[in-house]
Amino acid sequence: MAALPFSTTCRHSSSPLHHNSKSSFIGFSQRNNIWQLFVITKSISRKSIRKLSVKNVASDEKQELKDPLAKRDTFYEFIPDSASIASSIKFHAEFTTPFSPEKFELNKAFFATAESVRDSLIINWNATNDYYERKNVKLAYYMSMEYLQGRALLNAIGNLQLLGPYAEALTKLGHNLEDVANKEPDAALGNGGLGRLASCFLDSLATLNYPAWGYGLRYKYGLFKQHITRDGQVEVAENWLEMGNPWEILRNDVTYPVKFYGEVIPGPNGSKQWVGGENILAVAYDVPIPGYKTRTTINLRLWSTKVSQEEFDLQAFNSGDHAKAYAFLKNAEKICYVLYPGDESIEGKTLRLKQQYTLCSASLQDLIARFEKRSGKRVNWDTLPDKVVVQMNDTHPTLCIPELIRILMDVKGLSWEKAWNITKRTVAYTNHTILPEALEKWSLTLLQDLLPRHVEIIRMIDEELIHEIISEYGIDDLDLFQQRHKKMRILENIELPSSVMELLSTEETSTVDPVKVIDVEGNDVMATEKEEKKDENDDEEEVGEEGKEEEYDENLSIEEDTGNKVEVRFKVDPKLPMMVRMANLCVAGGFSVNGVAAIHSKIVKDEVFNEFYELWPEKFQNKTNGVTPRRWIRFCNPDLSKIITKWIGTEDWVTDLEKLAILRKFADNEDLQLEWIEAKRRNKIKVASFLKDKTGYVVNPSAMFDVQVKRIHEYKRQLLNIMGIVYRYKRMKELSAEERKEMFVPRVCIFGGKAFATYVQAKRIVKFITDVGATINRDPEIGDLLKVVFVPDYNVSVAEMLIPGSELSQHISTAGMEASGTSNMKFSMNGCILIGTLDGANVEIREEVGEDNFFLFGARAEDIAELRKERAEGKFVPDPRFEEVKAYVRSGVFGPYNYDELMGSLEGNEGYGRADYFLVGKDFPSYLECQEEVDKAYRDQKRWTKMSILNTAGSYKFSSDRTIHEYARDIWRIEPIDLA
């Protein structure tokens, strides 16, 4: 194809696009089926040519690859200046952005700038993937339902070391870089810590040059956009894709079939074929993830869903039945509409399960196609675990296990034994929670209907697991077998496999034996024993001998077997649902299980999966979470970053966070403290301006900024925080103006976070916080002494604004219930002091920053069970101040809303939604006393600033770089590959 000449000269000469910088667009050419785009500017020599080659990695066509490391005289060595960047932005503004050519407003400037940056990323992206393919390296594939990416522009420019040139280029074009960057919407691909952790991991993987990919779903609307009204939280669809996404590249040639429903047909030699049902297509969208100061740029592949156009019923459409015409299309598309659709209905549950399977199936088909392509004509499936490792981020991708087995058996023709062995060496599992409701269970009936072949495979895995338990421990002690079986089985309230039943049947010499009933999750396993034994009480409550004897007698039956063979029967309780326990499937099918903080991993081993840990101790390990220091301090807090670099003497800390420890020796230095205070003051002014813009509330930057921003959940105890504020307000109202100022440090209490749409109690908490704020903020007697602000629609960009300006951060979950937390790390890294319980990563943060630099309160994790038991027995006596606060709330001082149900959840000794399960009342007095210590410390600004410096200095352990090094070394067994 001949080059077609074009000029970037525009008809609208007054447009700011057309700065004096000269540039010309030479044209496109096609060579070896790879498109090349050439942009020449006066600052680039003709040897410095930009090559954009976007390849289909699933293609069978083998392209001849050149070693990118050998290209010493090409664009890879070229560092663009502001003039060449301005020319690139001008080109994209005229030729590629989805905006009209007449104006160069902020939205258009953002798109043009982003596409200019993407050009540079694509060069490194292609070089990275080409090199991995040519070297046939082992890749880690990170599977996650969430990626809370945040805005990408400043992060990408920062990682490319081009912040200065881009700022200068945009100034030449009439715009400010910060204003342009603020036009980017947050990608709505995640909810909270799970998704943000996944995004931090991708940043660290790229920065540390580890070969890896991320897989996720491309949600059209994400979770939801949160509005705060007089009625509390209101959810509306998030419109992050309304103007398009300049960072993604649609791969129309990378699609995979995904099936639901249908039936399983037996084939020859024991093979199975899954046929019929509903068929959709998963389509790939790729997003480049750049590393910091490295050419390595890895890939995040997101799946969208559709059906072929043949499914559009043109005849129905023309006859007026439009809904029928679009039915198949919309049914496929809705899979990727919303993150975590409500699952109260069977339709909602089905949609969630479809989402999870789509992620697993499309991703596994893709990585297997990549493995086969790199393997050449002869594929040795035994080497798959040597080239591929799949990390499941929580239980959402659990179906990776049966899906990989299905592909290996039904598509590739491997035996069950071989497929199962390969899978067990390929898949790893990260546990993120000990909450029972978050350890996913799925209805067997729903799974059987939606994924019939996978249920067959899950049954086989369950059978293998039971046999391994029997092989390890035997069945001489049926009580012990019952206990392990109850905790470890993947299938719940489902009959034992026939092969296990045969093992449990034993030859006896007597013809008449008593039968003992063993309760297993509501099932009756009946087995004869030679001697009568008394039943053990499952709830570990003390029962008298007489009661035990009566219970045993009720369960006895006599059976006669003339063949001297004991009959063992397993009864399913029809009143209880048949379920599949996904976490148990993850542990059984994966080669590694890790928790995400030291205390969490201990609970995982000692409590949640204790029986599995005893069986396979080598599988279990800890990987304390971390956050990327690039986004969470270097880019979001430039003022503090400059100070750190100055006092440490190098900027190497951005990729080697251990260097932050050097700050410890300067913590008492007055010059450093003055600079530190000034940086915090500037950040607080920005926060105050942001709060006024978002909420209308005016706050005093001289007050302490006290922040709790995270997903709204009862265990995270935003309720404890706001009740503490209510107590503070009540005490203020009881004092004179002079006494108030003497007793209380001025505070701005900031909340943020989303309550899940169907989580009624969490939404009540949001409503309560906003009502308290509305009352306090309008009270002229209190003035600037206390403000309460709820920031709507909390996301990554809001966090990047709030965290640098925060001084006290609340991480006050009930001990033992937060797996790790990552926002606690971000706050500490930015010199914010934490108040919290010994929960999650708080434990390790306190160890690293020093006990004197952390405000600790509350019950310990090991005491929680006993405290709940005490409550159930009616022995708990609430603190009088706690009762005062509840009565004050019920008095109506915060408006007409009826808070009886919210306050009632903190009362009583037992019952769902009552009995203060999260121990707000128990920890309340300790919390108030700790807050008094906070006020005391804040009055001494020299002491407070030293504590702040030591928090930053002690946060080095909590870099995601450290976490990724540990994953790579201990789980994935991958090595860094440096392209630089």
pLDDT at 669 over 60: yes
pLDDT at 443 over 50: yes
Which token pair is 726?
A: 């209510």
Q: Tokens 């302490």 — which residue?
A: 704
Position 446: which residue type?
L
Active-site annotation, residues:
432, 710-711, 716, 822, 826
Q: Which among 64, 66, 67, 34 has a CA at the least distance from the CA of 52? A: 34
In tens, the pLDDT along 834-873 reads 999 999 999 999 999 999 999 999 999 999 999 999 999 9
Give the ranges where 517-666 is alpha helix by DSSP (H).
545-555, 582-589, 598-603, 610-615, 629, 638-648
Q: Measure the CA–CA gap between 828 and 844, rounded to whole angstroms.
A: 12
Please tell me the predicted confidence (pLDDT) of residue 573: 86
Q: Which residue has the higher pLDDT, 567 or 918?
A: 918
Please tell me the predicted confidence (pLDDT) of residue 639: 98
In tens, the pLDDT along 444-463 reads 999 999 999 999 999 999 99
Q: Which helix (H) or strand (E) holds 792?
A: none
pLDDT at 119 over 50: yes
In tens, the pLDDT along 808-841 reads 999 999 999 999 999 999 999 999 999 999 999 9
Please tell me the predicted confidence (pLDDT) of residue 973: 98
Q: Measure the CA–CA gap between 711 and 226, rounded to whole angstroms.
A: 12
Domain segments of the chain: what residues?
89-134+150-184, 636-957
Question: 156 near 121, Cβ under 8 Å?
Answer: yes
DSSP state of 64: P
Position 779: which residue type?
D
Model confidence at 548, in pLDDT bands (50, 70, 90)? Answer: very low
Average pLDDT over residues 901-916: 94
Q: Measure the CA–CA gap between 124 and 138, rounded to whole angstroms.
A: 19
Question: 177 near 166, Cβ under 8 Å?
Answer: yes
Which token pair is 785?
A: 């002494």
Question: 581 near 441, Cβ under 8 Å?
Answer: yes
Question: 146 near 140, Cβ under 8 Å?
Answer: no
Q: Which residue has the higher pLDDT, 696 or 5?
A: 696
In tens, the pLDDT along 595-640 reads 999 999 999 999 999 999 999 999 999 999 999 999 999 999 999 9
Q: Measure the CA–CA gap between 556 and 882, rounded to whole angstroms.
A: 51
DSSP per position, 668-681:
T-HHHHHHHHHHHH
Strand 427-430 with 388-393, pairing: parallel
Total number of residues shown for the chain: 980
Q: Which among 123, 298, 124 has a CA at the least distance from the CA of 211? A: 298
Average pLDDT over residues 293-319: 90
In tens, the pLDDT along 763-810 reads 999 999 999 999 999 999 999 999 999 999 999 999 999 999 999 999
In tens, the pLDDT along 398-435 reads 999 999 999 999 999 999 999 999 999 999 999 999 88
Output the CA angle 467-468-469, nearest 5 degrees. 90
In tens, the pLDDT along 167-206 reads 999 999 999 999 999 999 999 899 889 999 999 999 999 9
Please tell me the predicted confidence (pLDDT) of residue 486: 85
Strand partners, 834: 809
The percentage of the chain sitting over the pLDDT mark of 70, rounded to a whole number, equals: 85
When mean pLDDT is compared across 139-143, 290-294, 480-484, the lowest value belongs to: 480-484
Which token pair is 701?
A: 């930057």
pLDDT at 48 over 50: no
DSSP state of 814: P
Please tell me the predicted confidence (pLDDT) of residue 387: 98
Q: Which residue has the higher pLDDT, 427 or 484?
A: 427
Q: Tell me the CATH class for 636-957.
A: alpha beta
Those residues with Cβ within 8 angstroms of residue 493's Cβ, 6 or more apart along the chain or in another chain: 521, 522, 523, 572, 573, 576, 577, 578, 579
Q: Which residue has the higher pLDDT, 824 or 504?
A: 824
Kindly provide the b/e burial profile for residues 153-191, where b requires at least 16 CB atoms within 10 angstroms of the residue's own CB. bbbbbbbbebeebbbbbbebbebebeebbebbbbbbbbb
Q: Which among 146, 506, 105 has a CA at the least distance from the CA of 300? A: 146
Q: Please tell me the number of Cα atoms within 13 Å of 250 on its side-chain side.
A: 7
Q: Which among 193, 642, 759 has a CA at the least distance from the CA of 201? A: 193
Model confidence at 980, in pLDDT bands (50, 70, 90)? Answer: low
Strand 441-443 with 512-520, pairing: unpaired
Please tell me the predicted confidence (pLDDT) of residue 24: 36
Q: Measure the CA–CA gap between 706 and 865, rounded to whole angstroms.
A: 31
Q: Measure the CA–CA gap between 694 and 704, rounded to whole angstroms.
A: 19
- Provide the strand spans (E) within 33-155: 34-41, 139-143
Q: Measure the CA–CA gap between 536 and 553, rounded to whole angstroms.
A: 13
Backbone angles phi, psi at 29, to 5 degrees: -140, 155
In tens, the pLDDT along 632-652 reads 999 999 999 999 999 999 999
When mean pLDDT is compared across 37-51, 385-399, 482-496, 675-689, the lowest value belongs to: 37-51
Which token pair is 649?
A: 């003497």
Q: Measure the CA–CA gap between 166 and 170, rounded to whole angstroms.
A: 6
Q: Measure the CA–CA gap between 183 and 181, rounded to whole angstroms.
A: 5
Model confidence at 571, in pLDDT bands (50, 70, 90)? Answer: low
DSSP per position, 156-200:
HHHHTT-HHHHHHHHHHTT--HHHHHTTSPPP-S--SHHHHHHHH
Those residues with Cβ within 8 angstroms of residue 693's Cβ, 6 or more apart along the chain or in another chain: none
Question: 620 near 443, Cβ under 8 Å?
Answer: no
pLDDT at 524 over 90: no
pLDDT at 518 over 50: no
Q: Which among 420, 407, 429 has a CA at the least distance from the CA of 467? A: 420
- What does pTM read for this prediction? 0.87
Give the count of beta carbons closer than 10 Å to the beta carbon of residue 760.
12
Q: Tokens 């000469």 — which residue?
A: 13
Question: 58 near 254, Cβ under 8 Å?
Answer: yes
Q: Which among 740, 725, 737, 812 has a CA at the least distance from the CA of 772? A: 725
DSSP per position, 336-376:
GTBSS---SSHHHHHHHHHHHHHHHHHHHHHHHHHHHHHH-
Model confidence at 34, in pLDDT bands (50, 70, 90)? Answer: very low
Per the prediction, the chain carries an average pLDDT of 87
Give the count of beta carbons closer than 10 Å to the beta carbon of residue 294.
20
Those residues with Cβ within 8 angstroms of residue 366's Cβ, 6 or more apart along the chain or in another chain: 58, 215, 254, 256, 284, 301
Give the ranges where 505-652 is alpha helix by DSSP (H).
545-555, 582-589, 598-603, 610-615, 629, 638-648
Maximum pairwise Cα distance, the chain? 105
Question: 745 near 704, Cβ under 8 Å?
Answer: yes
